[in-house]
Amino acid sequence: MRVPRLHLVVALLGVWLGCAPLARAADPPAVRLVATGGTISNRTGGRLTADELVGLVPDVRRYATPESEQFANTSSSDMSLAQWLQLARRLNELFATRPDLGGLVVTSGTDTLEELAYFLNLTVRDARPVVVVGSMRNPSTLGFEGAANLLEAFRVAASPDAKGKGVLVVLNDEINAAREVTKTDALRLQTFQSRPTGVLGVVDSDRVVFYRASLKRHTAQSEFDVSAITDLPRVDVVMVYQGASGDVIKAIVDQGARGIVIASAGAGATSGTQSEGLAYAAEKGVVVVTTTRAGSGRISGMRGSGLAGGRAGAAPAAAGTQAAAAPARPRRAFVGGEDLAPIKARILLMLALTKTKDPAEIQRMFLEY
Q: Which residues contact 28 (CB under 8 A, 6 or more apart)?
A: 61, 62, 63, 64, 65, 102, 158
Residue ranges of alpha helices (H) inside 26-78 are: 50-55
| Bridge partner list, 169 | 132, 176
The bridge status of strand 101-107 relative to strand 168-171 is unpaired
* Active site annotation includes 39: yes
Distance CA 191, CA 187 (A): 7
Helix crossing, 113-123 with 342-353: angle to 10°? 30
Residue among 36, 39, 123, 292 flagged as catalytic:
39
DSSP secondary structure of 142-190: TT--HHHHHHHHHHHHH-GGGTTS-SEEEETTEEEETTT-EE--SS-TT
The answer to whether 189 and 145 have CB atoms below 8 angstroms apart is yes
The answer to whether 270 and 262 have CB atoms below 8 angstroms apart is yes
Distance CA 193, CA 188 (A): 11
Q: Which residues contact 253 (CB under 8 A, 6 or more apart)?
A: 260, 277, 280, 281, 284, 286
Alpha-carbon dihedral sign for residues 71, 74, 77, 82: negative
Q: Is the peptide bond before 196 cis (omega within 30 degrees of 0)?
A: yes
Distance CA 165, CA 159 (A): 11
Distance CA 69, CA 63 (A): 19
Distance CA 76, CA 53 (A): 17
The residues annotated as belonging to the active site are 39
